Amino acid sequence: MDFALSEEQQAIFDMARDFGAEHIAPHARDWEQDGTIPRDLWGKAAELGLGGLYVSEEHGGSGLSRLDGTLVFEALAMACPSVAAFLSIHNMCGGMIDKFGSDAAKARWLPALCRMDKVFSYCLTEPGSGSDAAALRTRAERTNDGWRLNGTKAFISGGGYSDAYVAMVRTGQDGPKGISSVVVESRAPGLSFGAPENKMGWRSQPTSQVQFDDCAIPADNLLGEEGRGFAYAMAGLDGGRLNISACALGGAQAALDATLRYMGERRAFGQTLDQFQALQFRLAEMETALQSSRIFLRQAAWKLDRAAPDAGKFCAMAKLHVTDRAFEVANQCLQLHGGYGYLADYGIEKIVRDLRVHQILEGTNEIMRLIVSRALLAEHR
């Protein structure tokens, strides 16, 4: 059993960390205030292969494993969890198209996706169906020219910003077997967007409702097989849960690193804060939480790469454990900064706000508990 990263994996991590330090971290607070991420960042990211991490090299991608991907997003999130998470969503869409799309669909969508000439968003959640995703109501009906969509998607990262949307829509009966997946381009007639959401965290990500009002798309915008969209969405979420966990881990690691620096400089009662044993114990607990989370996350990614029968359970457990621990660590880091942690200048309060949503999206942590418990019970029947 080898827990060490290979030389190539260490190089991947270092590359992503250095890119984030140079191109993201110095601007993260400004982008948060602006409520958007400059488009020219994505071209720079694509030059390093970050636009199509899970896409085959044949179609312009990097062909990386899920484990490799967790290294990328952990490293990028050390600069800004919000920007890293947005890129992870784009890559989740690319992975779905590469895995489930026809040869024609791959040739049509993936080269521009990998170059990030086109930014992709993922559309599953609706105003009336969050955790119960199989109850979605957005409907797609066949027409002579393709499909006509009606419905609304909620909490969509990139709503009104992205160039294309991988959307789950109902093409058949109620339940998961009636759901299909389609690609909707931003210029499709009948596509519109709600007002930008005013959020607690992830404020640099433009987020809004995505609305389909007799939205017309060509027939070949169907992704994969009709009626298989829910299965595609769930498969995409296994990888998405790993990525979101990695982003949480990177943000928490950045908070802990900043806290160690602060405690080595800040003095109270005649000594630096890092010399108080009670505070040293807190540091030890936080380091243990992050290191154990890192091992758990990489094990889950390893299982997903090998298509292990229990990979879905491990992805859910990793998402539950890592995002909870990461938020707890970030929150403790804010506490250890005292009043300074509450000030934007120190960067800790932003990490706390950004990481809070990681316990909610890609399936709430309550749903993760449900997935894990059901899998556990099924194994013992």
The neighbouring-strand residues paired with 146 are 218
Structural Rg of the chain based on CA atoms: 21
Q: Which active-site residues does the annotation give? A: 362
The neighbouring-strand residues paired with 193 are 210
277 membership: H or E segment, kind and range: helix 277-305
- Counting other chains too, the contacts that 130-136 makes at CB distance below 8 Å and 24 or more residues apart are 130/154, 130/364, 131/363, 131/364, 131/366, 131/367, 133/168, 133/230, 133/233, 134/175, 134/176, 134/179, 134/230, 135/174, 136/168, 136/169, 136/170, 136/179
Whether residue 162 contacts residue 184, with contact meaning beta carbons closer than 8 Å, is answered with: no
The 3-state DSSP class for residue 340 equals: helix
Q: Helix H segments across 101-158?
A: 103-115
Chain-centroid distance, C-alpha 227? 25
Q: Which of 353, 357, 358, 350 is nearest to 28 (CA)?
A: 350
Name the region of 156 (left: φ>0; alpha: ψ -120 to 50; beta: rest).
beta
The C-alpha atoms of residue 59 and residue 107 are separated, in whole angstroms, by 7
Strand ranges for the chain from DSSP E: 120-123, 139-142, 146-157, 164-170, 179-185, 191-193, 207-218, 222-223, 267-268, 271-272
Tokens 């005013």 — which residue?
198
